[in-house]
Amino acid sequence: MPDSADTTADLSFEDALKRLETIVAQLESGDVPLDRSIALYAEGDKLRARCEQRLAEAQARIEQIVLGGDGGPAGLKPFDTD
């Protein structure tokens, strides 16, 4: 089995989420031995982090928070990629 750290970074958001859903279903079934459960949990944690990272990257490309004079959020503007 390939190292999940190597393969996680290459997965699209959709593929990572699909694999994470598979892992959750396996763990919830209760039919997985303890050692395998631990390995699946670790892989799932990496996938969760990857999904969160991809969502944050996507959101940053879409919008940027505009701060007001008081330093608080005043609104949103499109993210400038230049």
DSSP for 17-81, written as a single string: HHHHHHHHHHHHHT-S-HHHHHHHHHHHHHHHHHHHHHHHHHHHHHEEEEE-TTSSEEEEEEPP-
pTM: 0.67
Q: Predicted confidence band at 73 (pLDDT cuts at 50, 70, 90)?
A: confident
Q: Predicted confidence band at 58 (pLDDT cuts at 50, 70, 90)?
A: confident
Structure confidence by residue, pLDDT tens digits, 16-57: 999 999 999 999 999 999 999 999 999 999 999 999 999 988
The structural domains of the chain, ordered by start, are 4-78 (1.10.287)
Q: Predicted confidence band at 9 (pLDDT cuts at 50, 70, 90)?
A: confident
